[in-house]
Amino acid sequence: MTTLPSLDELTSAARLIAPHVPPTPQYRWPLIEARVRGPRAVWLKHENHTPAGAFKVRGGLVYLDALRRERPEIDGVVSATRGNHGQSIGFAARRTGHRVVIVVPHGNSREKNAAMRALGAELIEDGQDFAESCDIADRIAVERGYHRLPSFDVRLVAGVGTYALELLRAVPDLDRLYVPIGLGSGICGCYAAKEALGHGVEIVAVVSAHATAMAQSLVDGRIIESPSSTRIADGMATRRPDPTAFAILAARQPHVVAVTDDEVEHAMRALFHDTHNVAEGAGAAALAAIIADGARTQGMSCAAIVCGGNVDSEVFARVLRG
């Protein structure tokens, strides 16, 4: 079984990250709690408040710092993303001096693309979905001699796991933590923090009902590819689970909640109306899952990870209009 980062590794990552990404808040919002019937408390962990608008910025800082120390001869990296991972790498590369190439699929978010370019990344739009963009990034790494930076790695997990470290220390009586899944670094980071702290929280995996590859794989006990058709939760649009993330989750068998695009859009509106926070589709999915989980949350203290707020303005306007 893959070893998750230890408490020492998470603490070291937190020290590295803190000068660039201060700890994000976790709040209980009265209107959210009035809306969500069942739990005695609903906490929102606001990873939409980071400098890059999403949780992944933490992992990029840790990964590129390690790469600079361990492989100083490398000056270029290439990766594939739907947006937040790419912004993470661009943000971190400003501090390490690496050149960055990011591959995104055709039709990717225009505003996420613009943000990656503004951070200095060379952006290549190629591939019909994330999996095809990954294959193209593999080829570019060979052609240019760049380091192929993965979308899932234990160093990325150590970085993003620091948000769970903050949350679980701040809310020691938390019963259930809902975490959206794309490739899985976020939920694996939550397990790392839970196990490192000896916290009793139950971690719930949230997937899109229109991108169920990880959920199907966990049920079947082997990796299964499945097409993605979500119109709103691009951060969860994974057709092919990462093998390491799958192994970590298969060993722990979290309860899985699948949320529809309509449920996610309802949660996006709720977050804006009740807290005046902007969440992208994946960022609202965990709250949508708490609402959908109904009877399982009675009397519990629950938390939802608002993992990102990077939604195109025209998309968000459409969602708010309902």
Considering the domain boundaries, does residue 2 fall inside one?
A: no
Other CB atoms within 10 Å distance of the CB of residue 320: 13
The enclosing domain of 166 has a CATH number of 3.40.50.1100
- In-domain check, residue 171: yes
Asked whether residue 231 falls in the same domain as residue 116, the answer is no
pLDDT band at residue 1 using 50, 70 and 90 as cut-offs = low
Whole-number average pLDDT of the chain: 96
Domain residues for the domain of 307 are 7-54+154-321
CB-based contact 138:115 (threshold 8 Å) = no
Task: Look at residue 321 and tell me whether its pLDDT is greater than 90.
Answer: yes
Residue 1 lies in a domain: no
- Closest by Cα among 279, 285, 138 to 215: 285
Residue that is written with structure tokens 């963009």 in the block: 133
Same domain assignment for residues 173 and 257: yes
The fraction of the chain above a pLDDT of 70, given in percent, is: 99
What pLDDT digit, counting tens, does each position of 203-218 carry?
A: 999 999 999 999 999 9
Structurally, how many domains does the chain consist of? 2
Instruction: Using the 3D structure, point to which of 148, 164, 186 is the last residue of a domain.
Output: 148
Q: Are residues 209 and 63 in the same domain?
A: no
What pLDDT was estimated at residue 12? Answer: 98
Out of 148, 177, 194, pick the residue that ends a domain: 148
- Give the pLDDT confidence score for residue 116 in this predicted structure: 96
pLDDT in tens, 258-310: 999 999 999 999 999 999 999 999 999 999 999 999 889 999 999 999 999 99
Alpha carbon 25 to its chain's center: 17
User: What sign does the CA torsion over 268, 271, 272, 273 have?
Assistant: positive
